[in-house]
Structure 1
Amino acid sequence: MQQPVFTREVLRRCKDLRLHTALDTSGLLGERADDALLDATDLVLLDIKSGDPGTYRTVTRTGRLAPTVRFAHRLADRGTPICVRFVLVPGLTDDPLNVDAVASIAAGVPTVERVEVLPFHRLGAQKYAALGMPFPLAHTPPPDEALLRRVRGQFRDHGLTVY
């Protein structure tokens, strides 16, 4: 969404070739997506980082969940299918109240087809090292199976299909 004109053109050309298109976004800059861009989008992979404002600020450093929610509802009004993606980070996004808040947001958007709970991993640590930057989650473990089951269950409890 940093380059919506370019993105629109790429998606439009893919549609001309009868390719399925997907837009992967946090929705923060969703207002930059004009109708032509969204017309060329078959599916939106929407990252909802957190449902708790404090955790959202910590994770994104913007503290602005509202644009993501507005974008989700705009997509729903257009009938655009959505796959919500939620990164499960132990000690950061795993609080049951936070997970319920994300699940509640997703359940309130009628075109959400599924939720993907993505377990945190440290694969990005090498990128930080290459940039000479400390990796802030260097000591954070990946979630264990019990935590993954609990979080997926919370999304299912809201009537959502979960992967």
Structure 2
Amino acid sequence: MKVKGYIHSFESFGTKDGPGIRFVLFLQGCPLRCLYCHNVDTWEIKDNKMIMTAQEVMNEILKVKGFIKTGGVTVSGGEPLMQPEFLMELFKLCRENGIQTALDTSGYIFSDKAKQVLELVDMVLLDIKHINPEKYKILTSVELDNTLKFAKYLNEINKPTWLRYVLVPGYSDDENDLHEWAKFTSQLKNVERVDVLPFHQMGQYKWEKVGKEYKLKDTPTPTRELVEKAEEIFRSYGLKLLDK
């Protein structure tokens, strides 16, 4: 029986979700409740816009195969690992068609099925949103522990990984925390790159649209100096950042 995927949307020419030009598939459903989420409309599985089989998604990917040959396919969300069977089918089809794959995840779902998905994907984009467990929970409403285990497991299996860190003034910009984050991640030998992503307000309208309170409406975008300070700390631990 073919597994159906609960899908929010897809983007044919993404350039920010892995190397090269990419087909980006956004799956529905997420167990996290990040204060700065810009895809708040992906949280509930029942709010999906489409239900498709992996082959139906593959048919959409193949329409742009010529354009994504230097990149590939990234599955994002939501949290894609809420739908592991669908991911396995899709990543197998991508392999059969010679298409590079990336999984964009919070690492919160660390299960045997998640490990099976990791066997089939070429690289992982992992968000480690904070290193302090209490502050992580304030930001996301879930525990940090699984994400750190997930990161260590990616290192164990030597899975190519890009790390992402959203810099939110007043929440994730404390210098001691940045040093601790860099200390932990610099031990992971599979990490190819770290991206510091400045917090922005572009998702606010979605919170209003779905009738949820947006607690960060008065939080500013970090200054260039603040971003550069975080990047400088990360580089001081040997982490590779994209030169801007």
TM-score (norm 2): 0.64
| Structure with the largest fraction of strand | 2
Query: Could you tell me which of 153, 160, 167 is aligned with 1:88?
Result: 167
Q: What is the CA–CA distance in structure 2 between the aligned matches of 1:30 and 1:21, rounded to whole Å?
A: 19
For 2:95, which of 15, 18, 28 is the aligned residue? 15
Q: Is structure 2 residue 124 aligned with structure 1 residue 44?
A: yes
**Equivalent residue in structure 2 for 1:34, among 79, 103, 115:** 115
1:109 paired residue number: 188
Moved over 3 A (4+): none
Task: Measure how far apart 1:65 and its partner are.
Answer: 1.6
Alpha-carbon shift at residue 34 of structure 1 (Å): 3.0
Instruction: Structure 1: give runs of 5+ residues left out of the alignment.
Output: none
Query: Larger Rg: 1 or 2?
Result: 2
Counterpart selection for 1:126 from 189, 199, 205: 205
Per-residue CA deviation, residues 81-112 of structure 1 (Å, 9 max, x unaligned), is 11010000011100011111211121111101
The number of residue pairs the alignment matches comes to: 161
Q: Which has the higher helix share?
A: 1
Could you give the per-residue CA deviations for residues 125-146 of structure 1, whole angstroms, max 9, x where no partner exists?
0110101112111011111110
RCO (CA 8 Å, sep 6+): is it higher in 1 or 2? 1
Distance 1:120 1:149 in 2: 14
Q: Matched residues in 2 for 1:33 and 1:125: separation?
A: 31
Gaps of 5+ in 2: 1-80
The match for 1:72 among 151, 175, 192 is 151
Offset from partner CA, 1:52-89 (integer Å, 9 cap, x none): 11210111111x22211111111111110110100000
TM-score computed with the length of structure 1 as normaliser: 0.95
Q: CA RMSD in A?
A: 1.0
Percent sequence identity is 37
What does 1:122-161 correspond to in 2, within 5 Å?
Answer: 122-161=201-240
